[in-house]
Amino acid sequence: MLQLSKRKKIIISSLIILSIGLGYGFNFGLEYANIAASYAAKTVCSCVFVSGRTFESVKSEDLYAVPMAEVQIDETKQEVIAKVYHLAEAKAIYRKGLGCTLVNEISETEIRQQANLQVIDTLPIQDFTLDSIPPNVDVNILQQAIDNAFEEKEKSRIIRTRAVVVLYKGHLIAEKYAPTISPQTPLLGWSMTKSVTNAMVGLLVKAGKINIYQPAPIDEWKNDERKAITTDQLLRMSSGLSFEENYAKPSDATRMLFRKKGAGVYALSSKLANEPDQVWYYSSGTSNILQEIIRRQFPNHIDYLAFPYLSLFQKIGMKSAVMEVDALGTFIGSSFMYATARDWAKFGQLFLQDGIWQGERILPEGWVKYSETPTPKSNGRYAAQFWLEARDKDFPKDAFMALGFEGQSVTIIPSKELVIVRLGCTPNENDFDRNQFVKDIVKAIK
């Protein structure tokens, strides 16, 4: 998501001004400004009203990609308006249980008239507490590895780790937070949300509602060349659909997330560029197509909205989880879910335990194995809405990961019985060495 280099973020303002001022590419510059305004409005709205952070911290840390945006917050109405050079304006509104939604292509009134989510959690699931450290864990090595993740060594390389949580054999053995973040602060997972979409598909497989190896149940594709695309190919991002995953300019991805009323509806219009299974291409569009498929399995909107909460989050105690919706009320399953670091760790622990939680099978038998099986043509790097790590020979071979923009990660290592969560805001993801961070923690387990 929005993987802008330092050079690119510095020239964004100049690009907009030049493209408009020269009269050439006016529409491009205006679209750029609209996306920038939408990104600012959505980011501030979610960070303030979902995470409970101050606007000052959000402005200084999270808006580095849109420094030109002017932001207004209405605490009473719980909404945010962002403007860029008086050329573009965007609005995001907060609704309890649904997070923040951009007002795109339909009116705010229509959005507010949609079903509201009121799921009552009656399950007495206790949160993690810091347990005693097992004797085979080297506390000094463990603590040093975590401290290193928070260290800002160079001003030019911003790390900004916000939370680290380590589970070993299902027990919390270490955690650390940035000064303004607490164990109760929900933080954005960005593309880790794709792995949650994976779990939602798995739940429907278990219920017998979807066969992932059959053509995807999409009426719009039944009479054209896309009719043979399977749900499995969508999960593996090998569908062959055309989709531009570029966050440095107006593209399919930025339009889908920040300018369209329906992320999944927009992605559904993608044309076939290659035969299915012939090319692997990372596409947030396919994750939102999956959410569109999921929604269509329910008789009404409220049942769909309640589905991940009743069938997944409540089952494993993810009480902080908030999946945000687009203007049509569909979960943006590629990018927008918030949860505390501990709750992200619970999600990882569910997959570590083969989809079983407290003796109850949540995900269907074999689903975790499927989810971590490499996708052909991905060079061993990708499975089914989860990442693998094939580039580092010293990295645990059985590890699989939910990864997100700015360095978010839930790393699951079955052979070590470890789940490692790192959440942060690293503008250049390469500045944080996630592989070394994980390997250093693994070294602490003797």
Q: How far apart are CA 166 and CA 187, in angstroms?
A: 16
Would the pLDDT of 27 be above 90?
A: no
Amino acid at site 48? V
Q: How far apart are CA 257 and CA 245, in angstroms?
A: 11
Would the pLDDT of 18 be above 50?
A: no
Answer yes or no: are the C-beta atoms of 94 and 112 closer than 8 Å. no
Q: How far apart are CA 131 and CA 137, in angstroms?
A: 12
Are β-strands 337-339 and 187-188 bridged in parallel, bridged antiparallel, or unpaired? antiparallel
Q: Phi then psi for 374, rounded to 5 degrees? A: -55, 145
Answer yes or no: are the C-beta atoms of 180 and 170 closer than 8 Å. no
Q: For 250-274, what is each residue's pLDDT tens digit?
A: 999 999 999 999 999 999 999 999 9
Answer yes or no: are the C-beta atoms of 278 and 377 closer than 8 Å. yes
Residue 416: closest CA among 437, 443, 381, 391: 443
Residue 81: closest CA among 92, 67, 97, 69: 92
Measure the CA dihedral 337/343/349/350, to 10°: -60
Q: For 197-250, what is each residue's pLDDT tens digit?
A: 999 999 999 999 999 999 999 999 999 999 999 999 999 999 999 999 999 889
> Where are the alpha helices (H) located in 50-151, listed in sequence order?
55-61, 108-112, 139-150
- Domain residue spans in the chain? 6-112
Give the pLDDT confidence score for residue 389 in this predicted structure. Answer: 80
Tokens of 351: 């997959």
Query: Cβ–Cβ contacts within 10 Å for residue 264, how many?
Result: 28
Give the pLDDT confidence score for residue 152 in this predicted structure. Answer: 96
Please provide the distance, in angstroms rounded to a whole number, between the alpha carbons at the two ends of the chain.
36
Answer yes or no: are the C-beta atoms of 16 and 33 closer than 8 Å. yes
Q: How far apart are CA 294 and CA 141, in angstroms?
A: 44
Give the pLDDT confidence score for residue 25 in this predicted structure. Answer: 66
Give the pLDDT confidence score for residue 123 in this predicted structure. Answer: 57
Q: What's the DSSP call for residue 425?
A: -
> Could you tell me which residues come within 8 angstroms of residue 159 by beta carbon, excluding any fewer than 6 positions away?
149, 150, 151, 152, 153, 424, 426, 431, 432
Query: Cβ–Cβ contacts within 10 Å for residue 375, how many?
Result: 21
Tokens of 246: 């570029």
Answer yes or no: are the C-beta atoms of 341 and 187 closer than 8 Å. yes
Mean pLDDT lowest among 113-117, 123-127, 169-173, 180-184: 123-127
Mean pLDDT of 318-324: 97
**pLDDT tier, 302 (very low <50, low <70, confident <90, very high otherwise):** very high
Q: How far apart are CA 277 and CA 233, in angstroms?
A: 7
Would the pLDDT of 284 be above 80?
A: yes
Would the pLDDT of 367 be above 90?
A: yes
Q: How far apart are CA 55 and CA 178, in angstroms?
A: 17
Q: How far apart are CA 324 and CA 338, in angstroms?
A: 8
pTM over 0.95: no
> Where are the alpha helices (H) located in 168-279, listed in sequence order?
193-206, 231-235, 252-258, 263-268
**Beta strands in 377-428, from DSSP E residues, in sequence order:** 400-404, 408-413, 418-424
Would the pLDDT of 45 be above 90?
A: yes
Give the pLDDT confidence score for residue 10 in this predicted structure. Answer: 43
Would the pLDDT of 14 be above 90?
A: no
CA distances from 418 to 176, 399, 436 (A): 16, 9, 15
Mean pLDDT of 6-15: 50
Give the pLDDT confidence score for residue 54 in this predicted structure. Answer: 98
CA distances from 143 to 129, 260, 278, 426 (A): 17, 44, 45, 21
Tokens of 61: 């840390």
**pLDDT tier, 178 (very low <50, low <70, confident <90, very high otherwise):** very high
Q: Chain-wide mean pLDDT for the chain?
A: 93
Q: Name beta bridge partners: 166.
A: 174, 420
Mean pLDDT lowest among 48-57, 116-125, 143-152, 172-181: 116-125
Residue 9: closest CA among 370, 441, 439, 428: 428
Tokens of 394: 């010293």
In sign, the C-alpha dihedral spanning 179, 413, 375, 360 is negative
Q: What's the DSSP call for residue 334?
A: T
Q: Name beta bridge partners: 81.
A: 72, 91
Give the pLDDT confidence score for residue 439 in this predicted structure. Answer: 96
Higher pLDDT among residues 404 and 13, named by residue: 404
